[in-house]
A and B are shown apart, each in its own frame.
Chain A
Amino acid sequence: KAGVTQTPRYLIKTRGQQVTLSCSPISGHRSVSWYQQTPGQGLQFLFEYFSETQRNKGNFPGRFSGRQFSNSRSEMNVSTLELGDSALYLCASSLVVLAGNEQFFGPGTRLTVL
């Protein structure tokens, strides 16, 4: 079975632009979560989707948004990019949404904002 895939792997943008990151979960997994990883703040939860519905959202500004499609693929969008948005964005998938579930992580998209 193929693992979680994320595209693109690397991205360079300038302040004020917007960006869309994509995540394809493991086949059969219906839950997708997104995390932001930075040296200063560590790993922080962004959102969680299940069956095209956002189930949970972290403490991030409205510039961060996401969605999930009927095939469970998910995208996240960041508008009006700021320098502080430079980070590794990780996507994780699981079969269903359940506390204690093992989540399978993708390789991440490294976003650099100049």
Chain B
Amino acid sequence: AQTVTQSQPEMSVQEAETVTLSCTYDTSENNYYLFWYKQPPSRQMILVIRQEAYKQQNATENRFSVNFQKAAKSFSLKISDSQLGDTAMYFCAFSQGAQKLVFGQGTRLTINP
């Protein structure tokens, strides 16, 4: 069974700093998808960024980028120029062969003014 591990339960940085959230996963498959979802306090979960495993190029969405290391089964999220609105729970997720998402335990990120 696929598993997703987020080793940082909580992180806190100052506004405008860069922060990196870690995620590792376990699978024996070659084709799969990785996601980072953001769940702000009392608000709906939204997709931040998506990576297809067969693409070597790291995905980027504005201030958000990933470092995808397929051999190491690592998928970290970098947030540049962090903003107060980035405060949220961040979940790393995996899907393969089906739409079902397997989530990590989450990292609670706080951006301080």
Q: Residues on A close to B: CB < 8 A?
A: 3-4, 31, 33, 35, 42-45, 48, 55-56, 58, 90, 94, 97-103, 105-108
Contact = CB atoms under 8 A, between A and B. Distances in A.
Interface string B79-102: 000000000000100011111111
Contact of B103 (A42, A94, A100, A108): A42
Contacts, number: 59
B45 interface: yes
Contacts of B50: 100, 102
B44 A103 contact: no
B41 to A, nearest CB: 12
Contacts of B96: 99
B44 A56 contact: no
B47 interface: yes
Contacts of B11: none
B100 A58 contact: yes
A42 to B, nearest CB: 5
A77 to B, nearest CB: 20
A106 B44 contact: yes
Most chain A CB within a 10 A radius of its CB, from B52, B91, B98: B98
Contacts of A100: 33, 50, 52, 95
Interface of B: 32-33, 37, 43-47, 50, 52, 91, 95-106
B79 to A, nearest CB: 19
B104 A42 contact: yes
A45 B101 contact: yes
20 contacts: A31-B99, A43-B106, A45-B101, A56-B98, A58-B100, A97-B98, A98-B99, A99-B33, A99-B96, A99-B98, A99-B99, A100-B33, A100-B95, A103-B47, A103-B101, A105-B37, A105-B45, A105-B46, A106-B44, A108-B44
A43 B97 contact: no
Given A3-B44, A100-B33, A106-B44, A56 B100 contact: yes
A55 B47 CA distance: 23
Most chain A CB within a 10 A radius of its CB, from B37, B44, B47: B44
